[in-house]
């Protein structure tokens, strides 16, 4: 693991690091914020997964999470959204390829050699972070848009990994959306039965979630129809999953929306990870 930068931040440390990833077969960059409480011992960890076109840097800079993490004593991990670099497959479209890994393990050419983001986030990076930082065994996960999709699906697929779960405007039903069908078809092939394990609405009905879920959605989100929040709400109700779904009037899909409700999500995770 190489240190790219470390900056003092709200009494803690915001770092950016890189390493050679076995899962993705290339160098990967990620960010970790350690709150001041970590100086006294291991702290719970919240994973933040970003959306389409983002890197580790977008939420690190724009979401304003560090101040709240310092207040509540949580570490933050910001993974990248895809493998990158020379020799890594890409596409001219913004919503496929580099910057659009969708948090799945690709099985199709040309994506399979590098696009193993599910294993990377849930296993390889998790091990690297817990070995190198003062992080406890208590982990939560959240994310925005494509990252909200990743947070929901990974939490349900790896229930022992995460004890708390939330999402900002997640892609909630990708098998029924143009933000999903295109990517799942490219990465996983034409057999749609292989897609269902990466759809939060369907996973909720199949595997469920043992805890509760917080979801914030902007009522004026310009991508509302692509996100399919109604399908997720219906599944939450059908499965009797404890949840707080908040439709926020006047808010769009931007980081202004995320940063507005960031403290609520940090407090939500802190109550469950530290309680």
The residues annotated with a catalytic role in the active site are: 145, 221, 253
User: Is residue 241 within 8 Å of 44, Cβ to Cβ?
Assistant: no
List, as one string, the DSSP characters of 214-270.
EEEEETT-TTHHHH-HHHHHHHHHHTT--EEEEEETT--SSHHHHHHHHHHHHHHHH
Residue 4: name the closest of 14, 15, 13 by CA.
15
User: Is residue 126 within 8 Å of 160, Cβ to Cβ?
Assistant: no
**What are the strands, taking DSSP E only, across the chain?**
2-9, 12-21, 26-34, 43-49, 75-79, 135-143, 164-168, 213-218, 243-248
Q: How far apart are CA 227 and CA 53, in angstroms?
A: 16
Q: How far apart are CA 49 and CA 144, in angstroms?
A: 7
Q: How far apart are CA 234 and CA 202, in angstroms?
A: 11
Task: Give how far the C-alpha of residue 92 lies from the chain's centroid of Cα atoms, to the nearest Å.
Answer: 24
Show Cβ contacts of residue 175 under 8 Å, excluding neighbours closer than 6 positions.
181, 184, 192, 195, 196, 198, 199, 202
Q: In the numeric block, which tokens belong to residue 81? A: 């959204």
């Amino acid at each position: 693991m190489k240190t790219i930068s470390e900056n003092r931040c709200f009494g803690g440390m915001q770092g950016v690091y890189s390493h050679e990833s076995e899962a993705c077969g290339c160098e990967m960059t990620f960010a970790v914020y350690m709150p001041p409480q970590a100086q006294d011992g291991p702290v719970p960890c919240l994973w933040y997964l970003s959306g389409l076109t983002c890197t580790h840097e977008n939420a690190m800079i724009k979401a304003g999470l560090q101040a709240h993490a310092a207040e509540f004593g949580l570490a933050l991990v910001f993974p990248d959204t895809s493998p990158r670099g020379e020799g890594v497959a890409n596409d001219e479209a913004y919503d496929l390829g580099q910057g659009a890994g969708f948090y799945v393990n690709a099985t199709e050419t040309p994506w399979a050699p590098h696009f193993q983001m599910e294993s990377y986030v849930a296993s390889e990076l998790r091990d690297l972070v817990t070995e190198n930082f003062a992080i406890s065994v208590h982990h939560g996960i959240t994310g925005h848009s494509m990252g909200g999709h990743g947070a929901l699906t990974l939490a349900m697929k790896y229930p022992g990994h995460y004890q708390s779960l939330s999402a900002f405007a997640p892609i909630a039903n990708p098998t029924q959306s143009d933000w999903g069908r295109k990517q799942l078809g490219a990465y996983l092939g034409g057999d749609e039965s292989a897609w269902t394990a990466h759809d939060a609405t369907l996973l909720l009905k199949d595997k469920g979630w043992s805890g509760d879920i917080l979801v914030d959605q902007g009522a004026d989100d310009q991508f509302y129809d692509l996100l399919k929040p109604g399908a997720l709400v219906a599944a939450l109700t059908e499965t009797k999953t404890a949840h707080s779904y908040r439709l926020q009037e006047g808010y769009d899909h931007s980081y202004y929306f995320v940063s507005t409700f960031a403290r609520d999500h940090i407090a939500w995770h802190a109550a469950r990870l530290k309680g």
